[in-house]
């Protein structure tokens, strides 16, 4: 049980919609387990009201908050300072308030890297084929490049997202040791060649997500070679068509559920300085 006192520190989530979010359960359970005097609430905030909501939380001395759709990019412009990864992404999913100074972080990419490690597939030094270049893909791409993945081939269809990704790809090649290249998703030969010479294939698009479970960006089973690990950031359904295809060819595959858990764990650490009891939270909310 959370005991609200005169000292309770406020954290929470700003987004729209937020009612479905698992974050309040995850954080409040963890605060309670560690006997921390914090509370986490979800607030449905429209884009127009984001600046006032942020000012209000700051004025009330909130410890910090998460941002979800549609506020991640707008919040990057409202924060006083950004972590290196958040600056590269141009997006923020976590704010820490230190005496009125708001620092923006992005923990989605960290969540992905930790999830891969927890699944038994640490990614530093590996070659990755990344499907998608949107918000989630950008977070993964930036963190993977910062954390020592040796090469990342990003595949997106030719679209405004593709055009936007070009500048980020250039920046990552300049600022990190990772070799990053951008490719046309509709060039299937190029995609197949890339997967055949990668150790990890990551789907960070929403293709395959419910209610379109029957869709998959990969049509050819022969790309699933014996040294490939497949991951999907989707967790609804728990096993996407891509994962099922990979498993049918003997490739291990994991979904996006633990990315969600570990991005939350990293926000929790930034606010409290403590490690989230991930085993407990996993058992209760992530099975």
109 or 132: whose CB is closer to ligand ATR? 132
* CA-to-CA dists, residue 102 to 23, 45, 55, 105, 218, angstroms: 21, 18, 10, 10, 41
For the chain, percent helix, then strand, then coil, each to nearest 5?
40, 20, 40
91 or 276: whose CB is closer to ligand ATR? 91
Does the annotation flag 246 for ligand binding? no
Q: d(Cα 39, Cα 199) in Å, to the nearest integer?
A: 41
Contact 267, 106 (CB under 8 A): no
Contact 262, 114 (CB under 8 A): yes
Q: Cβ of residue 222: shortest distance to ligand ATR, in angstroms?
A: 21
Give the residue, chosen from 16, 161, 188, 249, that forms a contact with ligand ATR under the rule CB under 6 A: 161
Q: Is 173 in the site for ligand ATR (CB under 6 A)?
A: no
Q: Cβ of residue 91: shortest distance to ligand ATR, in angstroms?
A: 9
Contact 170, 182 (CB under 8 A): no
Does the annotation flag 233 for ligand binding? yes
Q: d(Cα 45, Cα 50) in Å, to the nearest integer?
A: 6
Q: Cβ of residue 228: shortest distance to ligand ATR, in angstroms?
A: 20
User: Among 5-13, 42-50, 80-88, 203-211, which window interacts with ligand ATR (CB under 6 A)?
Assistant: 203-211
Give the interface with ligand ATR as residue ranges (CB under 6 A): 132-137, 156-157, 159, 161, 185, 205-207
Cite the annotated binding site by residue number. 21-23, 68, 93, 108, 132-136, 233, 235, 256, 263
């Amino acid at each position: 049980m959370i005991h609200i006192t005169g000292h309770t520190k406020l954290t929470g989530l700003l987004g729209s919609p937020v009612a479905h979010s698992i974050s309040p359960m995850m954080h409040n359970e963890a605060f309670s387990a560690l006997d921390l005097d914090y509370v986490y609430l979800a607030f449905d905030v429209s884009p127009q009201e984001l600046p006032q909501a942020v000012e209000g939380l700051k004025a009330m001395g909130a410890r910090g908050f998460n941002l979800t759709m549609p506020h991640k990019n707008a919040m990057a412009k409202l924060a006083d300072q950004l972590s290196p990864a958040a600056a590269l992404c141009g997006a923020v999913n976590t704010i820490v308030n230190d005496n009125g100074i708001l620092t923006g972080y992005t923990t989605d990419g960290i969540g992905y890297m930790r999830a891969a490690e927890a699944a038994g597939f640490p990614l530093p030094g590996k070659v990755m084929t990344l499907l998608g270049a949107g918000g989630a893909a950008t977070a993964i791409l930036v963190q993977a490049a910062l954390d020592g993945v040796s090469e990342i081939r990003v595949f997106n269809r030719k679209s405004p997202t593709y055009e936007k990704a070009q500048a980020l790809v250039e920046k990552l090649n300049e600022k990190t040791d990772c070799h990053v290249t951008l490719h046309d998703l509709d060039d299937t030969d190029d995609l197949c060649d890339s997967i055949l010479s990668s150790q990890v294939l990551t789907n960070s698009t929403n293709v395959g997500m419910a209610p379109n479970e029957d869709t998959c960006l990969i049509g050819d089973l022969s790309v699933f070679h014996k040294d490939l690990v497949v991951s999907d950031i989707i967790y609804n359904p728990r096993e996407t068509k891509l994962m099922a295809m990979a498993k049918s060819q003997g490739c291990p595959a994991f979904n996006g559920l633990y990315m969600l858990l570990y991005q939350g764990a990293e926000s929790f650490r930034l606010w409290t300085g403590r490690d989230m009891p991930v085993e407990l939270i996993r058992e209760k909310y992530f099975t």
